[in-house]
Amino acid sequence: MLNQVDRLALTQSRIVVVDSERDSKQVLVSCGQSQLNEVAIVDPQTFAPHPDGTVGEIWVSGPSVAQGYWQRSQETQQTFHAYLSTGEGPFLRTGDLGFLQDGELYVTGRLKDIIIIRGQNYYPQDIELTVEASHPALGSNCSAAFALEIKGQERLIVVAEVMRSYRHNLPISEIADAISQAVAAQYALQVYAIALIKTGSLPRTSSGKVQRYAARSGFLTGTLEVLEDWSENPQNKSKFVRLQSEVESVFQQLTANKLS
């Protein structure tokens, strides 16, 4: 079952069904109905249950849910023994975001990957699809979008692999313009920085899934195999490896937080 919803409302965790003629639509696919388990959509901060048609974290309870992690009691308590603010439980916190409508479950993304800019929620996989379709130098499933706090503001960063046929005489300005214009048109978002990297160098899991957090860490530490890069503040950049005034300060803050 397909569900065409308003993209702007989705960034506000609301589900507004629209017709196929609407420009700002997002197509979502139902996962079906649960026959064995109870599914709840929950506010991940307050643990309050959400009504149908509202995006939240997907919690599951039932006979097919595992009891926990092997010899990891703290993680088991946090993930497998969650209770709603109303007292019902225990539930498994899946870490997925989604909503229920007419008994059907729709998954919209991962909680840890969500991009929050100016109070709006954006799903990185949607932005990545837009990026990859913006220029022929960019392949499919070869990009990562994430946010970084730069000078007190969350800014959008894009890392994308470049197809081998474009590696020589890489038209960085042309590609950056294409990415920026496509993202602005689809999401009214401004791309702060773009790193174009070697084919096959984007961090992935053993099953081939893009590791956005690892790409973010590589961007911060300067360990990505960057071919060319672009920033809206070109006076501060030669390569992201040497963006001392902004990127390294963010990395130092993250390191300090881990040590404290």
Say if CB 193 and CB 158 are below 8 A apart. Answer: yes
Q: Which CATH superfamily, name and number, covers 2-109?
A: Luciferase; Domain 3 (2.30.38.10)
Given a cut of 60, is residue 247 above it in pLDDT? no
**In the structure encoding, which two tokens stand for residue 43, read together?**
């506010």
Cβ 63 vs Cβ 29: under 8 Å: no
- State CA 159 to chain mean position distance: 13
Contact partners, residue 39, CB within 8 Å, separation at least 6: 58, 59, 60, 100, 105
Q: Taking phi first (over 0 means left), then psi (-120 to 50 degrees means alpha), and beta for anything else, what does residue 28 get?
A: beta
The rounded distance, in Å, linking the Cα atoms of 183 and 205 is 26
* pTM for this predicted structure: 0.74
Which parts of 10-133 are beta strand (E)?
A: 25-29, 38-42, 56-61, 92-101, 104-110, 115-117, 120-122
- Do residues 97 and 114 make contact, with C-beta atoms less than 8 angstroms apart? yes
The mean per-residue pLDDT over the stretch 114-129 comes to 92
Q: In the block, which residue shows the tokens 């837009």?
A: 130
More confident residue, 168 or 155: 155
Q: What is the pLDDT of residues 38-85, one digit of tens each?
A: 999 999 999 999 999 899 999 999 998 999 999 999 999 999 999 999
Question: What's 84's DSSP letter?
Answer: -
Q: In what order do the strands lie in the sheet with 153-162?
A: 138-150, 153-162, 191-197, 226-231
Q: Which residue ranges make up each domain of the chain? A: 2-109, 115-259
**Which tens digits make up the pLDDT trace of 206-232?**
998 999 999 999 998 889 999 999 987
Tell me how far apart the alpha carbons of residues 192 and 225 are, in angstroms, rounded to a whole number. 19
CATH superfamily of 115-259: ANL, C-terminal domain (3.30.300.30)
Q: What's the distance, CA 210 to chain centroid?
A: 11
